[in-house]
């Protein structure tokens, strides 16, 4: 028998680690930014695939229609109307004076999109029109991802996907894949609003500032961030929230101020807008045009009917959004957007396009469809897709003016 002196006087606990064996297990590491990005992308993949399916279906219908009309589709998507103005800014810069000619001063167009065209044109093959269209398409997917993120954060993944599909299937949704600023602006707005909802104040303000460099309605994004940040201060001081409130309108104010300096008058930007017949009139001209289309014109043009229905539906959806008590940043954003679009004079026909970035207005529809039967969801989304395809083709192949 072995000697008792070789035995330990007391046995260590069964689960106690040996003093001579180091603990090799590492504490769990936080996910890297790349890992978080991939995880977020995997969650958003169904929404992005659905978005791509809607847009490709609409594009196929437009392509077939254009082929039967022997119509060139590429110039229409990449280099006509507003797209031509942005390409001109990318090529030659901005005007140096106000002038007196109507509908001719390119200072009315905000700078972020043409700056991106000029910057990326040296890296991409083809013309600057191709570069602009690529930027718009890529931005549209960024926008769809942001829209999904807002909807999913508030109401779950199903609502996030439905919200994205409804935005893709808007009657003027073809503009999302044209050389226009709507996709870039919506991407900035959606991610800015998502950042506000998740408490990322400086991200929200930075994206709001970029939105303010993209479109005149960028002030709506800035208002949403600034108002929410200031309200949050009631619950305790936050240097980040205060900084966000100040930074959010910087892009919009910076461009408006720069135009004033360029033309030598403090109201230079608004003088430019007057040359484009855009002035605030409290909605008087909007009401007159609605009456004309719906009551006085015996044969109204189909596109103008669609624009009018879109405006009326947007107002009704805003009431429903307020009734549903949407978060403050969403209500401020869509409220200011509606005030600008409905309360300004000027051309009437682009106003459905001007409201395209107002995706939170679609949340009541997404919620209703998510709670309905599978059959109702299928019928609703199919109807929306058919309308989007027909209206998109009509908008660029039949309607004789800008979208």
Q: Give the separation between CA 170 and CA 175, rounded to whole angstroms.
A: 10
Residue-wise pLDDT for 104-144, tens only, equals 999 999 999 999 999 999 887 889 999 999 999 999 999 99
Region 30-41: mean pLDDT is 88
Write down the pLDDT at residue 33: 86
Helix, strand, coil tally for the chain in percent (to 5): 70, 0, 30
Give yes or no for residue 12 having a pLDDT over 80. Answer: no
| Sequence-separated (6 or more) residues with CB below 8 Å from residue 245 | 205, 225, 226, 229, 230
Asked whether the beta carbons of 397 and 306 are under 8 A apart, the reply is no
DSSP 8-state assignment for residue 344: B
pTM value is 0.92
Structure token digits, residue 70? 């022997």
Q: Which of 25-39, 233-247, 300-314, 321-335 has the lowest mean pLDDT?
A: 25-39
Side-chain-side CA neighbours of residue 23 (13 Å):
7
Give yes or no for residue 24 having a pLDDT over 90. Answer: no
Q: Give the separation between CA 84 and CA 178, rounded to whole angstroms.
A: 11
Beta-carbon count within 10 A of 342 CB: 19
Q: Which is more confidently placed, 30 or 198?
A: 198
Beta-carbon count within 10 A of 172 CB: 24
Q: Give the separation between CA 171 and CA 291, rounded to whole angstroms.
A: 21
DSSP per position, 100-130: S-TT--GGGS-SHHHHHHHHHHTTSSS-HHH
């Amino acid at each position: 028998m072995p000697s008792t002196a070789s035995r330990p006087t007391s046995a260590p606990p069964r689960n106690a680690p040996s003093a001579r064996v180091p603990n090799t297990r590492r504490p769990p590491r936080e996910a890297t930014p790349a890992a978080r990005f991939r995880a977020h992308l995997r969650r958003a993949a169904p929404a992005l695939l659905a978005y791509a399916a809607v847009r490709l279906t609409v594009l196929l219908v437009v392509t077939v229609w254009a082929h039967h009309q022997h119509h060139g589709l590429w110039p229409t998507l990449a280099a006509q109307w507003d797209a031509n103005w942005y390409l001109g800014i990318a090529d030659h810069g901005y005007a140096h004076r106000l002038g007196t000619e109507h509908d001719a001063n390119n200072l009315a167009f905000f700078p972020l999109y043409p700056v991106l065209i000029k910057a990326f044109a040296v890296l991409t093959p083809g013309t600057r029109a191709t570069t602009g269209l690529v930027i718009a398409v890529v931005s549209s997917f960024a926008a769809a991802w942001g829209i999904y993120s807002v909807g999913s954060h508030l109401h779950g993944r199903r609502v996030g996907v439905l919200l994205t599909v409804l935005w893709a299937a808007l009657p003027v949704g073809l503009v999302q894949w044209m050389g226009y600023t709507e996709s870039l602006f919506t991407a900035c707005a959606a991610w800015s609003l998502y950042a506000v909802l998740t408490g990322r104040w400086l991200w929200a303000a930075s994206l709001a500032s970029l939105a303010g460099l993209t479109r005149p309605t960028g002030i709506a994004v800035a208002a949403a961030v600034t108002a929410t940040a200031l309200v949050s201060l009631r619950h305790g001081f936050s240097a980040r929230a205060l900084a966000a409130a100040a930074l959010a309108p910087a892009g919009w104010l910076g461009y408006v101020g720069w135009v004033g300096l360029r033309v030598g008058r403090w109201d230079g930007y608004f003088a430019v807008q007057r040359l484009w017949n855009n002035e605030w009139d409290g909605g008087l001209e909007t009401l007159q045009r609605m009456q004309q289309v719906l009551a006085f014109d015996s044969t109204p043009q189909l596109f103008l009917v669609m624009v009018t229905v879109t405006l009326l539906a947007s107002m009704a959806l805003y009431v429903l959004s307020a009734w549903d008590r949407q978060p403050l940043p969403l209500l401020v954003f869509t409220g200011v957007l509606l005030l600008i679009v409905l309360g300004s004079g000027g051309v009437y026909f682009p106003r459905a396009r001007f409201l395209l970035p107002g995706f939170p207005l679609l949340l009541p529809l997404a919620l209703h469809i998510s709670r309905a039967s599978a059959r109702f969801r299928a019928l609703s989304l199919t109807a929306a897709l058919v309308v989007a395809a027909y209206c998109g083709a009509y908008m660029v192949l039949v309607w004789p003016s800008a979208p």
